[in-house]
Amino acid sequence: MRIHKTALYFFLIILCIATNASAQSSNTTQRAFVEPAYIDSMIHHEKYFTANEKTLAPNNKSWFVFESGTKPILFIAGHATAQTREGRIKGADGGTGSLAIELNKLSKVPVLYTTYQSPQDPNFYTESAFRDTLAKIIDIVKPLLVIDLHASNSSRPYDVDYGTMNGKSFLNRIDFLDNLKSILYKEGLVSQSQDYFPAEKNNTITKFISSKGIPCIQLEINGNYLSPEKGSIYAQKTAQLLQGLMRMINSLSK
């Protein structure tokens, strides 16, 4: 009889553990909301960036665009197209421009991105029309946080690298960085690095923004998360990235 009681107690303990684990799982697992149409939209927009990547803007057009938003997080894609640095043309950070457009459309964040080849690399030179416009945007929008989007070579070992000027660029708001890390990790960007590209060496946008007293993070994203192809694993990776950034925006907008 004692054996049966022991077995019953053991069963009840296991049942309680399983029930608690199930309850915790249901509490921490969030419903996905990014639709395939969002990724199709990014694929569509990226064709425009690719077509104009190494083309100088016509005389009556600017080589960058600002889209306003209602949320307090500003996203920048200053390398959405090729850029000129020290007399050389550097390739675009593919996918960052279409990501910025989609975030603006879906999450209502303000975004600034290049549309034609940059005559001056906005992440290197302090004097450019892009920087002048950015300064005005900062004064008007007064964002809580700025995210400077970049793409890393797909052979990099990380999914994402956070450039923080070795811990200085987010100022006293390490909670912003920790929140971003946690959300992207939960979305599947689990291999994370910090300050492989610290955004501190040159006259970076991150350095420029943080000098104005606004937290900024240079987000270096592995190219595998910015190269969606319909029906491929890369489309899913891009969806994970997009969903993570949208969750981060929502968390800071409450």
> For 185-226, what is each residue's pLDDT tens digit?
999 999 999 999 999 989 999 999 999 999 999 999 999 999
Q: Where are the alpha helices (DSSP H) in the chain?
A: 2-28, 36-52, 96-107, 129-141, 174-186, 205-210, 233-252
Q: Whole-angstrom Cα distance, residue 115 to residue 128?
A: 15
Q: Whole-angstrom Cα distance, residue 249 to residue 119?
A: 31
pLDDT over 90 for what percent of the chain? Answer: 86
Q: Whole-angstrom Cα distance, residue 145 to residue 173?
A: 9
pLDDT at residue number 16: 46
User: Is the confidence at residue 23, as pLDDT, over 50?
Assistant: no
Count of domains for the chain: 1
CATH number at residue 215: 3.40.630.40
**Per-residue tokens: 244:** 């993570």
User: Is the confidence at residue 3, as pLDDT, over 80?
Assistant: no
Residue 229 lies in a domain: yes
Residue 72 lies in a domain: yes
Q: What are 132-178's pLDDT values in tens digits?
A: 999 999 999 999 999 999 999 999 999 999 999 999 999 999 999 99
Average pLDDT, the chain: 91
pLDDT at residue number 254: 65
Residue 17 lies in a domain: no
Residue 30 lies in a domain: no
Residue 24 lies in a domain: no
pLDDT at residue number 4: 54
pTM: 0.88
